Amino acid sequence: MTILLSTVILVLLFVVLVYVAHASELAMVLNGEDKDTTKASRRNGYASLLFLIGFFVAVAWSCKEYLPALLPKSASLHGVETDRLYNEGMILMFLVFILTHIALFWFAYRYNESNNKVAYFYPHNNKLEAIWTIIPALVLVAMAVTGMRVWFDIFDVSKRDTKNMMVLEVTAKQFQWTVRYSGKDNAFGERIIDKEHVSPENELGINWKDAKSHDDFFADKIYLVKNKPVLVKLGAQDVLHSFFLPHFRVKLDCVPGLPTQFYFVPTLTTKEMQEYLSTQPWWQQVNPETGKQKWETFKYELACTEICGRSHYGMQKDVVVVEQKEYDEWMNKQDSYYKTVVQPTLVGNNNIPADKVQALN
Ligand SMILES: [Cu+2]
């Protein structure tokens, strides 16, 4: 109702403005002002100046209001670099934005039409052309080069400490994430994608004859260890999805038929991040739904960031970063999928699932 009323009021205001403008035009014709446009030009000049000031006040207000609501500081090692690039780019663009807008509206005010001013004919200047072509080109090249350096640094896994890292296999499908851990042996069971291995009970096509698969487990939350490198191996079973951990500045597409991977190091446990956020005014606000301050319910989150279908928004998972000790405790509680689900259905030693045995009889 409020929305309807405000819309009606806005429309009526607009109609009133149109009529006022029309009436003042008629008044100008009556006063003979329509032949001399300098007065109208001056008015437009002042209006431009007023708009410039009002616009900058609005920009400053929205920065103050919404900047604190952006993502908090990075919780991963490489994220610090990503943030630096992002901030440098934003500062540069903001400067250009301010300067061009001042030029646009100030010029409209300063050089409005006047009877004793004659327009200066200034068709071309090679020096100016060169300046505003070369400087932006150099700036853009510098940005691209620094960006690529960070990109290669993030994606060149060969430079990393691969022995000490945790490997995680994440497979996306409409509309869920399957997260496989390699268990205590730190090695995944082999996957074979063919008719024999892939079934509704074994969508990933894990070869259960491979002993390495016997301690693999599926987790409903992603547990990571502080300062322990993680290599996430990504895949998709149907359409494009995208693996996005905003707080760690991790984002990579999951492509059917094309394995991708991302290496990163979490640097803040969930608790440490909450402690940090509890000092931030925006996060101290009380959420009316929970009655708690926002930082108290903060969670790291995995989200799909590729529109992948109707329930795309539901493709989320909690991510928890803990110290090694707490991680070990959690891992010990996880049940191996093979032992709890697959093994009980196997008959004898020939690895034939029970339902298939019945079918043979
Ligand atoms: Cu998705």
Query: Cα of 208 to ligand 1 centre, how many Å?
Result: 28
Which of 20-24, 112-116, 135-139 is modeled with the greatest confidence? 135-139
Number of H helices, E strands in the chain: 9, 14
CATH tag for 161-347 (out of 3.30.450.90, 3.30.420.240, 2.60.40.420, 3.40.50.10490): 2.60.40.420
Q: How far is the CA of 179 from the centre of ligand 1 (A)?
A: 14
288-298: per-residue pLDDT in tens?
998 999 999 99
Arithmetic mean of pLDDT, 204-209: 81
Q: What is the C-alpha R_g of the chain?
A: 31
Ligand 1 centre to CA of 230 (Å) is 22
Longest CA–CA span in the chain (Å) reads 106
| Residue 237 alpha carbon to ligand 1 centre in Å | 11
Q: How far is the CA of 256 from the centre of ligand 1 (A)?
A: 12
- The pLDDT tens digits for 340-353 are 777 777 655 445 55
Q: How large a percentage of the chain has pLDDT more than 90?
A: 55
CATH 2.60.40.420 placement within the chain: 161-347
Q: Are 183 and 215 in contact (CB under 8 A)?
A: yes
Ligand 1 centre to CA of 180 (Å) is 17
How far apart are the CA of 313 and the centre of ligand 1, in A? 8
**ipTM, interface predicted TM-score of the complex:** 0.90
Which pairs with CB-CB distance under 8 Å and at least 24 residues apart come from 88-92?
88/143, 88/146, 89/143, 92/139, 92/143
Residue with tokens 């502080």: 226
